[in-house]
Structure 1
């Protein structure tokens, strides 16, 4: 597993509000996230892969 990003870092990287990430997670639409304790964390490589795949679609 690569570096783990917080929801704030992913929101900044994708230039979307945090609320959008929460909605995507609820709808199983956005980059994969997992809970680490109380916090959501995103694998940086998985976010980059999701971004590449989303742009290709």
Structure 2
């Protein structure tokens, strides 16, 4: 089954950011994996979820290292 495609508005809502902030993330190469399809920036839902999971894993590694 194919992933649902998300657009900037959808990703902004999922991340709790504004659309402008997501566009800035794209420019800074800090946004979830994305592609331009038919002139629109698209994200796969699984890539956005993986981006969120990686952020939590990174935070856990940082807090664990600080505790040692």
Report the TM-score, using the length of structure 2 for normalisation: 0.77
Q: Is 2:5 the partner of 1:4?
A: yes
Partner of 1:29: 30
Displacement after TM superposition at 1:56 (Å): 1.5
Residues 10-57 of structure 1: per-residue CA shift (max 9 Å, x gap):
111111001111111111112111101111110000000011001221
Partner of 2:63: none
Task: State the Cα RMSD in Å.
Answer: 1.0
Name structure 1 gaps, 5 residues minimum: none
Query: May I ask how many residue pairs the two structures share in their alignment?
Result: 57
Q: Could you list the runs of 4 or more consecutive aligned residues of structure 1 that deviate by over 2 angstroms after TM superposition?
A: none
Report which of the two structures shows the higher radius of gyration computed on alpha carbons.
Answer: 2
Higher helix share: 2
Displacement after TM superposition at 1:6 (Å): 1.1
**Which gives a bigger RCO, structure 1 or 2 (Cα 8 Å, sep 6+)?**
1
Report the TM-score, using the length of structure 1 for normalisation: 0.90
